[in-house]
Structure 1
């Protein structure tokens, strides 16, 4: 039996949540341009890739593994959780991925929950989602539950900003972001966008520009252990800045959120913008050092690399 957990009333549009108007068109045009005229793709061979498979998780630890782009495998509280899972080689409108997923699908543990940040194709990928058992709990932004129930998912938890739910004893709170949504020509901002605070410990930012909503998350969730923060897709600024942080803004966002560590994502997978492929990694390291932050607290993971911390 299909179960949808959501508030009884949702608005028909979330345009009032936008912090940049009009949103999206500049980004779409920029992505199209850089798909046709990409940066130097020969740098793809230098994107760090880790081997060795998936390490075990000790009792009392939380482990994260960067699969690529905004996809992480998070193992915490006895659950295995995927963020914005994308295993496809291609997504609509952009070139094929320049680095392959850091884990083979067959090597994943059974997935206990999936969080989706928003409906853009590089974050919500039907060819990947369809591989999941239809009983997998799907935690999604307001307005997006029907997309999943129409495809046979039977446990869909749809949340607005600051709403929360619990799966298997682990809490999930949907939190604000500076972004937008659209999947077709006719559904601009019909669904919400945001990030997730998981287990009161890990903040998954999804996609976000820089703004006051980051500090609001930090005020509501002091003492976060880890922020999974995007650092790529920022060039040119006139198109990308309203919806994506660049590395200096990512560090500011991390400081606003107040987490102890930051792990990088949203770079080195899909060509969405004009910066050189390796520049987000280089720039985040430079900016981290310029702020005098502890090097061990920057988890600039290779594709497929895992790290863990005690909870």
Structure 2
């Protein structure tokens, strides 16, 4: 089912009028787990790791320190949520400030940035429609004119919520605010928000490019050849925001999520100098020990021979800065 994707040299501009297919299942690279497999994992507790070590998850709620006009500030809020200050904009990735999302226990750590400490939000990027990445209660807290960049065929969800500035993109398409481009790129994942809408909307990651920096937000993804395609299309990525958690049991999760070693390899594939970890330490979605994702990411990074300073294994709420 793998689709052949040709890297382009210039981003495609989305047309004004869009007609989307009824399904994006042709973009899948692995068959999704069937109902019996899901029941088997749930029965044996594969979705419920012991959260007894949650007190070891580092939390550093220091607010948002100032960044220079040509610098990029990168702050981990938790799970796949980052506050990115790039090119004069404040951008949220997959914003989830809720204490609880459907189907899982309460979050293990508080959001790393208080909502009241956020500056005005200039844009939001959404990777896909799973509840741990598309959180309606959080989005309701934003002004309805906030620009939303979303995957193909997901725009209707936002317009029904009253948002008036929604841009839907297919893979390899691009939009812009000021000096920052927002490019939607492929991922090895899938979408579903109810029993009857599997793969009705697209999924992917985002490349944000300013005059000084390029940041890749992988969203949610398994491992595969699409990372090298992204690297070929977008050379010079300064930082890859990579998921490292929700990967056990491996026989079940490998179709949806990278493990820490695969995240490190994916960072290399896209040509990013640095990697920041995410998608761990917030919600219990799988069977690995709570601290295992970041511990294994550190080990894999060291084994790859890369500079330890270029692995940003951030605490919840911690900020790092890319300087110009």
| TM score, norm. by length of structure 2 | 0.91
- From 155, 180, 194, the equivalent of 2:190 is 180
Partner of 1:299: 312
* Corresponding residue SS for 1:42: coil
Partner of 1:10: 20
- From 217, 226, 250, the equivalent of 1:204 is 217
Structure 1 stretch displaced more, 236-245 or 64-73: 236-245
- From 227, 235, 241, the equivalent of 2:240 is 227
C-alpha displacement of 1:52: 2.0
**Alignment pair present for 1:49 and 2:62:** no
The question of whether the paired residues in 1 share the 8 Å contact of 2:47 and 2:284 is answered with no
**What do residues 72-103 of structure 1 show as CA deviations (whole Å, max 9, x unaligned)?**
00001110000000000110011111111001
Pair 170,68 (structure 1): closer, same or farther in 2 beyond 3 Å: same
C-alpha displacement of 1:51: 3.0
Pair 29,108 (structure 1): closer, same or farther in 2 beyond 3 Å: farther
Could you tell me how far apart the structure 1 residues matched to 2:36 and 2:239 are? 31
Q: Which ranges of structure 1 fall in alignment gaps of 5 or more residues?
A: none
* Corresponding residue SS for 1:41: coil
* Corresponding residue SS for 1:304: coil
**Alignment pair present for 1:129 and 2:139:** yes
The question of whether the paired residues in 1 share the 8 Å contact of 2:46 and 2:249 is answered with no
Could you tell me how far apart the structure 2 residues matched to 1:112 and 1:209 are? 29
The question of whether the paired residues in 1 share the 8 Å contact of 2:275 and 2:311 is answered with yes
C-alpha displacement of 1:177: 0.2
Pair 7,108 (structure 1): closer, same or farther in 2 beyond 3 Å: same
Root mean square deviation of aligned Cα: 1.9
**What do residues 147-170 of structure 1 show as CA deviations (whole Å, max 9, x unaligned)?**
000110000000000000001321
Could you tell me how far apart the structure 1 residues matched to 2:233 and 2:40 are? 35
Pair 88,129 (structure 1): closer, same or farther in 2 beyond 3 Å: same
C-alpha displacement of 1:239: 1.1
* Corresponding residue SS for 2:52: helix
Mapping of 1:1-311 within 5 angstroms? 7-23=17-33, 29=39, 32=42, 38-199=48-209, 201-311=214-324
Could you tell me how far apart the structure 1 residues matched to 2:207 and 2:113 are? 23
C-alpha displacement of 1:42: 1.6
* Corresponding residue SS for 1:216: helix
Q: Across the two proteins, how many residue pairs are aligned to each other? A: 308
C-alpha displacement of 1:27: 8.1
Pair 271,29 (structure 1): closer, same or farther in 2 beyond 3 Å: farther
Could you tell me how far apart the structure 2 residues matched to 1:114 and 1:35 are? 34
Could you tell me how far apart the structure 1 residues matched to 2:115 and 2:44 are? 29
Pair 141,305 (structure 1): closer, same or farther in 2 beyond 3 Å: same
* Corresponding residue SS for 1:99: coil
**What do residues 60-80 of structure 1 show as CA deviations (whole Å, max 9, x unaligned)?**
100100000000000011100
Pair 233,37 (structure 1): closer, same or farther in 2 beyond 3 Å: closer
C-alpha displacement of 1:302: 0.2
Could you tell me how far apart the structure 1 residues matched to 2:280 and 2:320 are? 18
C-alpha displacement of 1:54: 1.0
Pair 271,6 (structure 1): closer, same or farther in 2 beyond 3 Å: farther
